[in-house]
Amino acid sequence: MGKLRYFAALWAAKLSVPALKLTGHNGTNYPGELAIKICPDFLKYIGKPEKIIAVTGTNGKTTTCNMTVDILEKAGYRVLNNRFGSNINSGIATSLITGSTVFGKTKYKLAVFEVDERSSLKIYPYVKPDYILVTNLFRDSIMRNGHPQYIADFITRAVPKSSKLILNADDLIACNVAPENERVYFGIKQMDTDRVECINLINDMQICPVCQGRLKYDYLRYHHIGKARCPDCGFSSPAYTYAGDNIDIHNMTMVVREHDDSCEYKLVSDNIVNIYNMVSVIAILREFGMKHDDIRRYMSTVSIVNSRYNVTKQGDIRIIMHMAKEKNALAITRAFDYVISQPGKKELFLMMSCLNDEKHWSENTCWMYDCDFEFLDNDTVTRIIATGPRAKDYKLRLLLAGVPEEKICCVKDELEAVDSLSFEDIDNIYILHGVDSLDIANKVRDEVIRRVREAEKR
Amino acid sequence: MKIEILFPEICNLYGDLMNVKYLKKCCPGIELVATSLKDDPLFLTEKPDMIYMGTMTEASQELVIKKLRPYKDRIVQLIEENAIFLITGNALEVFGRAIENEDGTSIECLGLFDFTAKRRMMARYNSLYLGRFGNMDIVGFKSQFTFAYGADENKALFRTIRGDGMNRETKAEGIRVNNFMATYVIGPLVVLNPPFASYLLAVMGAECKELAFSKAAYDVYSTRIKEFSDPNRGFTY
């Protein structure tokens, strides 16, 4: 019965693929959804490639997966992946369906899958990766993810015993998942910009996981990312198997050290988050068996598609759209940190409201009190325009963060908020938006550009 | 004037710590004293003007219970002496009888109040909250893996108007015994409810002419009451 149901599911899903193409619905999860609906353990039966690499974690999954796939393809491998689908069980199922024959036999020898952390329990019992990379584990949506230890426990319960783990040694939450599994670690050695004390509101690794003593950080990059040790019991962060070192932003290079070997790489981005992604990709590919020289050669030709950040120059003013995932205190803190690190005077639009929540209930704004709005109390930030349904909440939080009231404008309607720009002595206008507010943010950007042009004519 | 923050290194989820930071903004003379897991609590030797503890992970709950168990009699004494406690989110469960896991195992808590929390780690509950405290409206958010059962409904901190209380079958929310106040409502409860902030400062005897950012806080508060009172607005996520 199981097999019969499986074939019914497979063929129904296969038939749905051309139907979706004809109706212009490429890239949906529908085939996988349909297959799992007909046959709940569909993933158990569908053919899988010989070698499977999975990438999971809070941030960096998509970039890491895309870079890994791009490099492998440039090296001549055919790689099954879920780049154009989703990272939940139906997305993985859709990839496997499209990559299989009419009888469900896989046409690929290698797969790289991005896996949603919370979907682990629905995927790993059937799809057993040879390697699982955990990029990092941070606070995410309060409603969906609770706290990072909850997600770490989820992964620990789901990971197959046979999977080799590739873990971030600079993240003590991520590197403690599934302690019985074989593992290697990647990380980035001390940098000039590191600190020893945390300046963020969120720091989820303050006590020793062994004796609960206060951890000391030899270096701390942001939140709990860094190298820690416990003065009370001697516990410490694990040693790096693959270490990024000598990061040189000026010349855009870094060295990756591995045992007695090392190799210089060209940086594909100056953003530390993407440098972590690079080191993690190198770790995956070294574990897979590629040589440093080959990885370096192909990596130098890939680029990071940054759909979350784009710049328009109008006269002397740069207008920057910066996506900061709504309701995610950590993602928005990282965006604030980046904005204030950039040169020049800035006016900011804060419009990260979760518009979908506003339609149905009301956004849970607790994240604002985990997020470092304090970073915006900065001399280079000359005006902050709080807008959207939660404009008043932003204003209150900014005041609590120490931002002077005269710098804050609070206008609910996003397009009317453009009137609040001063255009006085500024170099940059940042529009910080979420996924839900992307459309209205684009309209705000267009209106800002129009106003800048008008101002230039005057 | 001192507010003792219990174990802020682990009891700090969902922006809860901003509750006491806001009280200090309102009354800069307040001293915030952070007690870590390896410290002796201040409340052993003094009666702080407020003792605060916020939301934590499930593993941290066990550490906190173990840490506070030897001080149970002192906590009872402080409650009887009208010491002010403000306890938010799942920190409330530490003071109940037990936390029951879905696999049948159970964690014994301090047992100061007669309720049991039941965890469902695969069924997170998310809701807006609208309730009453005396004659004031209370707004906030709930996001939790547990519900509590068996609490004395006459000792509720808030009376729920919309949303759920300690569990889906009751409108009684939280625990109030003398000045011990505990609620499942998470996050910046005090910031989002300026009348409640004023009440707490008054009970503490803090000299504070006006709340910090009073106009902005009341603006947010009245907007949220209006939103949460709208019967067409969904409440449970």
Tell me if B235 is assigned to some domain. no
* Domains (range + CATH), chain A: 2-184+261-299 (3.40.1190.10), 309-457 (3.90.190.20)
Give A395's contacts in chain B (Cβ within 8 Å): 216
The distance of A152 to chain B (nearest Cα, Å) reads 12
pLDDT for res A308: 74
Q: What is the number of CB-based contacts under 8 A between chain A and chain B?
A: 99
Nearest to A370 among B14, B36, B141 (CB): B14
Nearest Cα residue in chain B from A408: B216
Tell me if B10 is assigned to some domain. yes
The verdict on ipTM greater than 0.90 is yes
Tell me if B237 is assigned to some domain. no
Give B224's contacts in chain A (Cβ within 8 Å): 362
Tell me if B159 is assigned to some domain. yes
DSSP A238: P
Tell me if B152 is assigned to some domain. yes
Each residue's pLDDT, cut to its tens digit, for chain A (458 residues) gives 678 999 999 999 999 988 888 777 766 789 999 999 999 999 999 999 999 999 999 999 999 999 999 999 999 999 999 998 899 999 999 999 999 999 999 999 999 999 999 999 999 999 999 999 999 999 999 999 999 999 999 999 999 999 999 999 999 999 999 999 999 999 999 999 999 999 999 999 999 999 999 999 999 999 999 999 999 999 999 999 999 999 999 999 999 999 989 999 999 988 899 999 999 999 999 999 999 999 999 999 988 776 678 899 998 999 999 998 899 999 999 999 999 999 999 999 999 999 888 888 999 999 999 999 999 999 999 999 999 999 999 999 999 999 999 999 999 999 999 999 988 889 999 999 999 999 999 999 999 999 989 888 87
Q: Give the H/E segment covering residue A186.
A: strand A183-188
Tell me if B234 is assigned to some domain. no
- Rounded Cα distance between A273 and A350, Å, is 22
Domain count, chain B: 1
Tell me if B23 is assigned to some domain. yes
Interface test with A, best of B14, B68, B230 (most A CBs within 10 A): B14
Alpha-carbon dihedral sign for residues B166, B171, B175, B179: positive
Chain B residues within 8 Å of chain A (Cβ atoms): 9-10, 13-18, 21-22, 25, 36-38, 57-59, 63, 121, 124, 126, 128, 141, 143, 145, 186-188, 191, 212-213, 216-217, 219-220, 223-224, 227-228, 233-237
Q: What is the torsion angle, in degrees rounded to the nearest 10, for the CA atoms of residue B136, residue B140, residue B145 and residue B148?
A: 0
- The predicted-structure confidence for B98-112, as pLDDT tens digits, reads as follows 999 999 999 999 999
Tell me the residue range of the domain where B101 lies: 2-229
Q: The domain that contains B118 carries what CATH number?
A: 3.40.50.880
The pTM of this model reads: 0.94
β-strand B106-108 against B98-100: which pairing, if any? antiparallel
Query: First-to-last CA distance in chain A?
Result: 76
DSSP assignments along A397-453, one per residue: HHHHTT--GGGEEEESSTTGGGGG---SS-SEEEEEE-STTHHHHHHHHHHHHHHHH
B220–A396 CB contact, under 8 Å: yes
Tell me if B195 is assigned to some domain. yes
pLDDT for res A425: 87
